[in-house]
Chains A and B, each alone.
Chain A
Amino acid sequence: DGGITQSPKYLFRKEGQNVTLSCEQNLNHDAMYWYRQDPGQGLRLIYYSQIVNDFQKGDIAEGYSVSREKKESFPLTVTSAQKNPTAFYLCASRKDRDPYNEQFFGPGTRLTVL
């Protein structure tokens, strides 16, 4: 089955540690996105990538970093510079040349920083 996988589902880290969240898709989509979801705040865009080896900052990129070395993978690193990292993180992708911009989502990773 085609889809987006995110691992792990739950992640615990100590304050001050960097942590990398995985996102893999086998939909052959070119564009990928990382969102942060907090209660009552909707989805806020962290980073997005339209093609391999290229990515752009979203609305809340501070304290995060990404890479896009392969089309199917878009890992997100939450660095120690992120002041409030505990949140639910969602990865999404969009079909190439889709004029309507529909996005498909993974199951999410819930990160808790202790």
Chain B
Amino acid sequence: AQSVSQHNHHVILSEAASLELGCNYSYGGTVNLFWYVQYPGQHLQLLLKYFSGDPLVKGIKGFEAEFIKSKFSFNLRKPSVQWSDTAEYFCAVNGNNRKLIWGLGTSLAVNP
């Protein structure tokens, strides 16, 4: 079955700490992978995406993610978080019938 697993449900960091959010997927076809972010009171928006080519993908606001095919993973990273990164982060993979399969989300709180 198609699925996405996000390892951390709640993460609390201090400003300037490094961030890594885990995402593993299960899908048999060609994968398109996404990280979306939902800042408090704002739209869900795309942070970054992987379709093909370089497995290290750079997104907005200094985020990056690495696609490791052998591990079925697409972990999100940021070397130094800011208070403004406080948000909920969702990993998703393309599924059948042009649908997206979503992880349960990770709530990140960054303390100033």
Contacts and interface: CB of A to CB of B under 8 A. Distances in A.
A108 B34 CA distance: 20
A100 B51 contact: yes
A92 B90 CA distance: 15
A58 B43 CA distance: 22
B94 A50 contact: no
Given A40-B105, A42-B102, A102-B49, A56 B43 contact: no
B67 to A, nearest CB: 14
A56 B104 contact: no
Sorting the interface of chain A by its residue count into under 10, 10 to 19, 20 to 34 or 35 or more gives 20 to 34
A42 B90 contact: yes
A103 B93 CA distance: 11
B43 A42 contact: no
Interface string A38-66: 00111111001010000010100000000
B14 interface: no
A61 B45 CA distance: 24
Which 4 pairs show the lowest CB-CB distances between chains A and B?
Answer: A42-B104, A105-B44, A43-B102, A101-B94
